Every structure is written in structure tokens, then in C-alpha cells.
Amino acid sequence: MKKSNLKFSAAATLPAGFRAAGIVAGLKKSRKPDMALFVDDVPAVLAGTFTTNQVKAATVRLDAERVAKIGCAHGVVVNSGQANACTGKQGYRDAQAMAVHAAKQFGVAPETFLVCSTGRIGVPLRMDIILPGIEKLAAAVVPNGGESAARGIMTTDLVPKRYTATFRANGRTCRFTGIAKGSGMIQPCMATMLAFLLTDAKVDRRALQKALKAAVDKSFNRISVDADQSTNDTVLLLANGCAGNATLKPGHRDWPAFVAALEGVTFRLAMAMVRDGEGAQKLVTVRVQGARTPADAEAAARSVANSFLVKTSWVGSYPNWGRIMDALGYSPARVDETKVEIRYGPLLCARNGLKAGASIEQLSKVAAQKEFTITIDLHLGRHAATVYSCDCTEDYVKINK
């Protein structure tokens, strides 16, 4: 694949056949956009991944059933402000009613519409607002409605998150667009996030699901803001085939181009979530290497990335490597403190579990940067893992009080 065949932009340019809109329905006191709708003119092949939290929102249960049993979709309707989680049987009926009402606007089968909600847990949906909102959305959807839809799904997000990639398949130009929300309650697998991935490429259904899972594992499941896992996490991928290419799947010469677009968009969206973490000022990459097993590498990296003692030390730009050692020690990973090596950026701060290398002043300059990497070598094996995290400021408490 030539590099010129794959291009990315920070935009919500919808692929052929898709329309979208975002509106102010009135679910929020702030009168900010609070509903969105994505619709496809033709049935799209469908894939999805969902939260592993044992407590799942009604929408998650509904969508997971439709991804598994039906495998195609005409659209997705989304509300923010109310999560429709811990709302009992009525919550599930409300989710179904949203799908039925959205499908009715476009004359399609109700089971081909998906539903997503985000917001406060335990609050019944305001169906008296949502159903008229769906009608308003249906009247507003347009091919260039991606930007308004991106704002319609936001909660504590400060900025909309959207990326578009273009690539070639069978000589046809294909588009892949991702629109997501996520700022707090971010901890895989997955985070309090919603992501809608749309492409006009024609893709085999089974291959689409496998590719999505692999991309999510490399992106949304690599991030952490506050180590809290949500009840509503959902990633949906719709491929409608309007680009006119031959069906993409492993073995097709242009399959790598599709995978690169998918993984490029999801990774960019994931990084946007960490940068926009509630109250966050810095993006920190935590890399653990030299672990005995892949599970140990993962556990050690997550322990450091999730430690609030470590995260608050990044706020003051004070590289307290002792807190990192502490987080490593209580992780499930096998750790021998006499072999641990820690670096802030390129600067060594601990070796064999003891202070070494750069001065605090030098390390502080690294920690003061908006983005930096912490590298930890356990010197016990050959396995590695990376987690993307952020600092934790006073604003996080203010937002969530």
C-alpha cells in the first residue's frame, strides 16, 4: 500500500450513503446539543464491541443482541444526558421504543436501528423529549451532518472528536469516518465512550468484526483517564459498500489499506479522549518492557497509568519515581525491585530499584511537557505493553463532585 493512498483529516466528512444530524432536544439544562442520529440509505454490514462491565445499560444489551443476531443496520440514534443504565425493564423497553421510532421515520425495519445513550446512571429516559427529538433529527439529517452529530453526543467533552480517512480499494476511493465521545470514566475494557465508525467500503461481515476487535484492542482498550469503567461503552462499525469496491477481507490486495484506515482512525480518536480527559493537561505514555509474560506487562503498565498518586505527581511536574515503584509493587505482575529501571523521556531516574541518573531538576523539565513517555524495564523477560494515560488535576474533582 502506497502511503499516498491513505490520508487522514480531523473532520467528520461522512462516507457516501450516510447522513447525520445533531440537535438540542432539551435533555440538558445547559441547552447544549444532546441528541444525534446517523442513518444509512442502504443496509450496512454491522460490527460492534461493548463494555465488559457486568452492569450494562439497556442500550448495550439491545445493540449487542442485534450485532450478534442481525448483523446489518440502517442507523443509530443517540441521546446524551441520561445513560439508561440501572433503569430496569422499562429502560430496555425505552431503548426498543427509540429504535422503533427512528426506524419509522425512514421506513425501515425497527431491528435495523441501533440505540446508544450516555449520561447519568439510574435516571429514566425522558421519552417525552426523546421521541419528538428523533422526529426532529430525522428531518435534519444531511450528508454533511457529521460535525453536528459529533457535538450531539458530547457530555463532559470539551471538544468534539472526529477523524476521517480516505483510501483506495479496487481503484475506488473509499472513506472511513469515526465520531466519538469520551472524557471521564475512561478505563478499558472499554471506557465511558461511544464511537461510531462509518465506511462506504464493502467489507465481509466476519472480517469486519475481527478487524474491529483488533483495532479496539490497540486503541480504545489502551487508554485510561481515571480507571473507571462505564456501563455504556459501545463501538459500532457500519460498512455500506457504496464505494463500489469488491468485498474486502483478508487476502484481498486492498485489505491492508482498510485495516490501516480503521486502526488509524480509532487510535486518533483514543488519543483525543486522553488529551480531553476531565481536567487533564498532559498525555502520558506508560510503556513497560522486560516483563515475564504479556499479562504481567499489561498489569504493570495499567497499575502505573491508573495510580492517582502517580497521576497527581504529573500535575506538579515532579517526577516522583518512588510512586511508580510503589504502583509496580502492588500490581499483579511479577516484579523484582532490584532489577527495575525507570526513565522519564530519555532520562534515567532509577536503576536496580535505586535512584540513579538525572537530577530532579532535569526530570522535572520532562514531566512539565504536555506529552511525555515513561519507560519501565522490569528486566524479567521479553514482553511489553503500553497504556496511554493523563495527569489528574483539581478540575477532575470539580467536574465530578
Closest CA to 34 of 46, 43, 25: 25
The whole-angstrom separation of Cα 313 and Cα 150 is 33
The set of cell numbers assigned to 144 is 454533511
The whole-angstrom separation of Cα 14 and Cα 221 is 25
Report in angstroms the alpha-carbon separations of 400 from 194, 384, 397.
19, 33, 5
- Counting every residue written for the chain, the total comes to 401
Is residue 51 within 8 A of residue 233, CB to CB? The reply is yes
Give me the DSSP letters along 160-197: -EEEEEEEEETTEEEEEEEEEE-SSS--SSS-S-EEEE
Query: Taking the C-alpha atoms of 111, 243, 198 and 78 in order, what is their torsion angle to the nearest 10 degrees?
Result: -50
The whole-angstrom separation of Cα 280 and Cα 314 is 10
Spatial CB neighbours of 241, under 8 Å, sequence gap ≥ 6:
42, 44, 45, 200, 201, 202, 203, 247
Is residue 5 within 8 A of residue 257, CB to CB? The reply is yes
Q: Which residue has the cell 536503576?
A: 351
Q: Which of 87, 192, 199, 234 is catalytic?
A: 192
Is residue 165 within 8 A of residue 8, CB to CB? The reply is yes
| Rg value, the chain, Cα | 22
Spatial CB neighbours of 87, under 8 Å, sequence gap ≥ 6:
58, 94, 122, 123, 124, 125
Known catalytic residue at 192: yes
Is residue 149 within 8 A of residue 22, CB to CB? The reply is yes
The whole-angstrom separation of Cα 384 and Cα 279 is 29
Active-site residue list: 192
